[in-house]
């Protein structure tokens, strides 16, 4: 999906305005980038520009784990999703434009795994009110492959084979972000037992977290967009 098509959903990102809009009429927007990307990438700046063209003066924040873009990109692959959500929760709580003093809440956009992480943020982070959540190509029910490989990339394929055999190892689950939303429907018992992140935020285990349900049910609109496979 081309990024220029992402903002046909203008009604989801603004209030119903019957008079000439001002900056105060726009809810702030946060964005969490995807795997292999960073918060300061050109594509993120394009999103910011598109939003401000549509809604002049709107507040936009690109979520980061590390302020150095290269380090932030590495953290999208290697890290602990649970700890990253804690980091981002504190990050957002320290931005005055995003706190609960904004009575109508904020809107959130997630690309790829960023959408899954945002969902975990909504369930776990107090003090931040998310009004609308839009995700693009986000694996909310997990992935069966760690990373797609090119047909002639034998090294990538071999690495994935080895990693999949170790997917439920504790050190893999706690240190490789895509492994933390790995979900093989043919291995549901292992998934429910060993999944470090996704099984929890999906509330798939017998012991349900009512706070997660309450927090996620509080959002106004949820839009999940998946790239069409041809």
Q: Which pLDDT value is given to residue 104?
A: 79
Task: Please give the residue range of the domain that contains residue 171.
Answer: 154-201
Residue 130: closest CA among 104, 158, 110: 104
The reply to whether 120 and 220 lie within a common domain is: yes
Contact indicator for 113, 139 with CB cutoff of 8 Å: yes
Cα-trace Rg, the chain: 18
Number of structural domains the chain divides into:
2
The reply to whether 93 and 41 lie within a common domain is: yes
Q: What number of other Cβ atoms are within 10 A of residue 168's Cβ?
A: 18
Q: Which pLDDT value is given to residue 145?
A: 75
Residue 63 belongs to domain with CATH number: 3.40.50.1820
The reply to whether 218 and 121 lie within a common domain is: yes
Partners of 176 in the beta sheet? 78
The reply to whether 107 and 31 lie within a common domain is: yes
The C-alpha atoms of residue 55 and residue 225 are separated, in whole angstroms, by: 22
Residue 42 lies in a domain: yes
Angle between helices 81-93 and 113-124 (to 10 degrees): 70
Residue 131 lies in a domain: yes
Residue 40 lies in a domain: yes
Residue 230 lies in a domain: no
The reply to whether 79 and 134 lie within a common domain is: yes
Mean pLDDT by 10 residues, the chain (230 residues): 43 43 76 96 95 94 97 96 98 87 81 97 93 95 79 79 88 94 94 97 96 95 79
The C-alpha atoms of residue 80 and residue 68 are separated, in whole angstroms, by: 18
* Model confidence, pTM: 0.85
The reply to whether 7 and 82 lie within a common domain is: yes
The C-alpha atoms of residue 55 and residue 135 are separated, in whole angstroms, by: 20
Q: Which pLDDT value is given to residue 147?
A: 67
Q: Which pLDDT value is given to residue 154?
A: 82
Phi, psi of 203 (to 5 degrees): 55, 45
């Amino acid at each position: 999906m081309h990024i220029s098509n992402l903002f046909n959903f203008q009604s989801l990102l603004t209030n119903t305005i019957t008079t000439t809009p001002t900056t105060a009429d726009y809810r702030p927007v946060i964005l969490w980038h995807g795997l292999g990307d960073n918060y300061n990438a050109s594509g993120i700046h394009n999103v910011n520009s598109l939003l401000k063209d549509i809604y002049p003066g709107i507040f936009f924040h690109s979520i980061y784990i590390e302020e150095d873009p290269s380090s932030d990109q590495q953290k999208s692959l290697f890290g602990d999703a649970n700890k990253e959500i804690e980091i981002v929760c504190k990050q957002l709580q320290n931005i005055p434009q995003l706190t609960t003093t904004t009575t109508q809440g904020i809107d959130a956009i997630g690309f790829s795994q960023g959408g899954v992480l945002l969902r975990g943020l909504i369930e776990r982070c107090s003090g931040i009110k998310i009004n609308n959540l839009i995700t693009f190509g986000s694996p909310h029910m997990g992935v069966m492959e760690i990373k797609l490989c090119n047909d002639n990339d034998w090294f990538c394929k071999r690495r994935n084979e080895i990693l999949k055999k170790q997917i439920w190892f504790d050190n893999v689950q706690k240190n490789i972000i895509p492994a933390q939303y790995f979900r093989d429907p043919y291995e549901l018992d292992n998934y429910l037992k060993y999944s470090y992140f996704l099984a929890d935020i999906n509330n798939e285990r017998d012991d349900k977290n009512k706070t997660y349900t309450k927090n996620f049910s509080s959002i106004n609109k949820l839009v999940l967009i998946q790239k069409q496979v041809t």
